[in-house]
Amino acid sequence: MASRIVNVGLVQQRSQHDKGKNVAHACEGIAEAVRQGATLVVLPELFATDYFCQTEDPKFFEWAEPLDGPTIAQVAEVARDLQVVVVTPLFERRARGLYHNSLVVLGSDGAQLGAYRKMHIPEDPQFCEKFYFTPGSQGFSPIQTPGACLGTLICWDQWFPEAARAMALAGAEILVYPTAIGWMPSEKELLGDAQLDAWRTVQRSHAIANGTFVVAVNRVGREASSVGEVEFWGHSFVCDPMGRVIAEAGEQEQVIVVPCDLELITEQRHWWPFFRDRRIDSYDGLLERWIDVKGR
Amino acid sequence: MASRIVNVGLVQQRSQHDKGKNVAHACEGIAEAVRQGATLVVLPELFATDYFCQTEDPKFFEWAEPLDGPTIAQVAEVARDLQVVVVTPLFERRARGLYHNSLVVLGSDGAQLGAYRKMHIPEDPQFCEKFYFTPGSQGFSPIQTPGACLGTLICWDQWFPEAARAMALAGAEILVYPTAIGWMPSEKELLGDAQLDAWRTVQRSHAIANGTFVVAVNRVGREASSVGEVEFWGHSFVCDPMGRVIAEAGEQEQVIVVPCDLELITEQRHWWPFFRDRRIDSYDGLLERWIDVKGR
């Protein structure tokens, strides 16, 4: 069997509470990944700033930038200089009063290969994203890069099998999840391990069900706000099309580079041909909010 | 928080290569589960016979029975005598030349509460199910029992997040998977652990993504055919709505009874409200076989 290897770099980093420092630090991470052989690098969700969604405060809208703003320009320059593709998350200002939780895929010439706006927006205590982010309306279209077709999704999207499936059906070879997920101090002792394992498990299942690679890149570090703090748990990982975790980071800053042989996708789907057997004649219910049945 | 506990019995058994013996043995398993407190018992896929699908031979159609045939009648009598609900798989003869891989949910009065015909049919070497079984056309409707609303699915269905989601949207509290899955001797050393783990992982992910319990009941034992053998791997398990495995059998015959508190479903969905955030406006692609894009 031939191989088609893409070396994927994961830049797991903490916020230094300053956009300039964070972007510079991410650029150092990209360079480190390239030194290790990466041709595709993924940064964490909203890497340029603190995770400001712990509270609802309109002052944070000042941190947003357009898709062609200075942060993207700065990373694009690094992408071009180092000839590497970079999945670059961004707090996007699309118009006055219209903001998205987005990412741009920058090509190795610094040009934009495509963008994605987070489709599923969470809203929990200290994850008040519905206040800030308008849900994307572009749907689920993978972004083709020279090395691989990327199903780019963001954080909360990772809990929805629909998003992974839709990306795979449109040709995604690697599902990519920039992420900002962590423990609440009050829950960590009782639920921390189960939360981390559920997060890893549901993403591994997308690899299994779709015969794709999955790359999840999380933040690390504690970030405080006026209402408490979140401890971002790291554990960025890559799993293969059988759902096997082939590389996993710890809970500190880390740059890892993982060779992914995309030919494994074909092999896996030959043995587990789920696309052959999907009952598309019977999936109408998936477009419903709920199937109301008396008493349930 | 109030609790609503259902004690679920899993009867993991091997075939004794004789329908009379297998059905009698399953009835003993049901009785053992009831002694341990079960009010709902699940049997493995096609428990009454050998897993005949290793080869394609029309002689095996003789083993099929109608939904109101003698096997169901015999189990129904036990269900009534012991006042227990039994998920009872069956090789169903629906008409001359029309067969299904089915199950009947028998109530504690022996009456049929509902039936399910396997929707996703596999076809691999030694799992030649497309020769024998017409795919179900009834869709994904849970079956209400006094203790719980059951999303009854069968084996290969477990790899399809669509089936789990459709059942959950229609009110299923417990996803139930009678199963016949095993290792091929030629693959076990290299892939055995990964296959088992992928099987467990994808089903745990259905619990996580949908906030339901999952109950998987597999066969055990080696079964030979003219083309080789399959070693059914057991490892029947129950996981809670956070995907935590709360009970798991080994690789031998075993009857286990697991208390499932259905109130955990509400609690879990309050914290991880995926149903709130599904993008039903953007899931049309899930009804497609594939999204053709040039070059992918």
CATH number of A257's domain: 3.60.110.10
In a domain, A296, yes or no: no
Active-site option among A19, A27, A65, A118: A118
**pLDDT higher than threshold 80 for residue B294:** no
Assign 3-class secondary structure to chain B: CCCCEEEEEEEECCCCCCHHHHHHHHHHHHHHHHHCCCCEEECCCCCCCCCHHHCCCHHHHHHCECCCCHHHHHHHHHHHHHCCEEEEEEEEEEECCEEEEEEEEECCCCCEEEEEECCCCCCECCECHHHHCCCCCCCCCCEECCCCEEEECCHHHHHCHHHHHHHHHCCCCEEEEECCCEECHHHHHHHHHHHHHHHHHHHHHHHHHHCCEEEEECCEEEEEECCEEEEEECCCEEECCCCCEEEECCCCCEEEEEEEECHHHHHHHHHCCHHHHCCHHHCHHHHCCCCCCCCC
Record: contact B243-A119, CB cut-off 8 A: no
Helices A70-82 and A19-35: crossing angle, nearest 10°?
A: 20
The yes-or-no answer on residue A155 being catalytic is: yes
Which of A278, A288, A289 should one mutate to test binding to chain B, selecting the residue with the greatest count of B CBs within 10 A?
Answer: A278
Hey, what are A96's tokens? 């006055």
* Residue A295: pLDDT band with limits 50, 70, 90: low
Contact B66, B94 (CB under 8 A): yes
**pLDDT higher than threshold 80 for residue B50:** yes
The yes-or-no answer on residue B149 being catalytic is: no
| Interface ipTM above 0.95 | yes
Give the residue-averaged pLDDT of A202-221.
Answer: 98
Distance (Å, whole) CA A178 – CA B111: 51
In A82-173, DSSP assigns E strands to: 85-95, 98-106, 112-117, 143-144, 149-152
In a domain, A295, yes or no: no
**pLDDT higher than threshold 80 for residue B263:** yes
* Residue A293: pLDDT band with limits 50, 70, 90: confident
**pLDDT higher than threshold 80 for residue B295:** no
Cα atoms found within 13 Å of the Cα of residue B215, Cβ hemisphere only: 30
In a domain, A278, yes or no: yes
pLDDT tens, residue by residue, A32-91: 999 999 999 999 999 999 999 999 999 999 999 999 999 999 999 999 999 999 999 999
Q: Specify the 3-state DSSP secondary structure of A74.
A: helix
In a domain, B17, yes or no: yes
| φ, ψ at B276 (rounded to 5°) | -65, -35
In a domain, B296, yes or no: no
Identify residue B249 by its one-letter amino acid code: A
DSSP state of A65: B
Q: Residue B4: exposed, middle, or buried by beta-carbon count in 10 A (0-12, 13-18, 19+)?
A: middle
* Residue A292: pLDDT band with limits 50, 70, 90: confident
pLDDT tens, residue by residue, B51-107: 999 999 999 999 999 999 999 999 999 999 999 999 999 999 999 999 999 999 999
pLDDT value of residue A2: 81
How far apart, in Å, are the Cα atoms of A159 and each of A153, A155, A217, A285, B73? 11, 8, 15, 19, 42
Task: Locate the chain B residue with the closest alpha carbon to A203.
Answer: B205
* Residue A296: pLDDT band with limits 50, 70, 90: low
**pLDDT higher than threshold 70 for residue A178:** yes
Record: contact A171-B282, CB cut-off 8 A: no
Contact A102, A88 (CB under 8 A): no
**pLDDT higher than threshold 90 for residue B41:** yes
pLDDT tens, residue by residue, B214-261: 999 999 999 999 999 999 999 999 999 999 999 999 999 999 999 999
Find the domain containing A158 and state its range.
5-287
Which chain B positions have a beta carbon within 8 Å of A159's beta carbon? 208-209, 272, 274
In a domain, B294, yes or no: no
Which chain A positions have a beta carbon within 8 Å of B284's beta carbon? 287
Q: How many domains does chain B have?
A: 1
Record: contact A285-B159, CB cut-off 8 A: no
In a domain, A293, yes or no: no
The yes-or-no answer on residue A253 being catalytic is: no
Hey, what are A281's tokens? 């004649």
Q: Residue A13: exposed, middle, or buried by beta-carbon count in 10 A (0-12, 13-18, 19+)?
A: buried
pLDDT tens, residue by residue, B203-221: 999 999 999 999 999 999 9
Contact A117, A100 (CB under 8 A): yes
Which residues 6+ apart lie within 8 Å of A138 measured at CB?
A116, A117
* Residue B296: pLDDT band with limits 50, 70, 90: low
Task: Locate the chain A residue with the closest alpha carbon to B245.
Answer: A194
Give the residue-averaged pLDDT of A123-148.
Answer: 97
Number of Cβ within 10 Å of residue B68's Cβ equals 10
In a domain, A292, yes or no: no
